[in-house]
Amino acid sequence: MLNLEHNDIEEGVVSGFHPSLVKLNLSYNHMRVFPISLTTLVNLQEISLNSNRLTDITGIESLVSIVSIELDDNLLTELIVDWKQLNQLKFLSVKNNKLLKYSTSNPEVQSISSDLFLFTNIDRLDLHGNAGLSKR
């Protein structure tokens, strides 16, 4: 476990992690996008990115061994990710973000891809505190 919370880290500064890293906490920093340098962490099983300023998590699908993702208290408006790559995922927490909408039937009216439910092993999903989120 590498704990780097409360370090004023910005996404461009995140690099140099050993590829065998299994748990990483980058909460309470200043990242706006998912750090591309983390895509090499193919053994990472748990990541916490709570309380940053994330608006984009593109690249997170490269974490093919990930089991748990925490994205609470960010600025995310959508979770459109290639969830098919994350078939080990069991826990996803996206509390207190700015997710806007969700629809299982209309892909044009969603902020969460239905692939999350079709291709992962997710058994815990926390969307609490996303005031704009409504199921249609």
Query: pLDDT for 79-114, tens place per residue?
Result: 878 888 999 999 999 999 998 765 445 455 456 766
Report d(CA 37, CA 59) in Å as an integer: 9
* pTM for this model (two decimals): 0.88
Type of residue found at 65? S
Weakly modelled stretches of the chain, pLDDT under 70: 12, 101-111, 113-114, 134-136
pLDDT for 117 equals 76
Rounded Cα distance, 17 and 57, in Å: 19
Homologous superfamily (CATH) of 1-136 is Ribonuclease Inhibitor (3.80.10.10)
> What's the CA gap between 128 and 125, in Å, rounded?
9
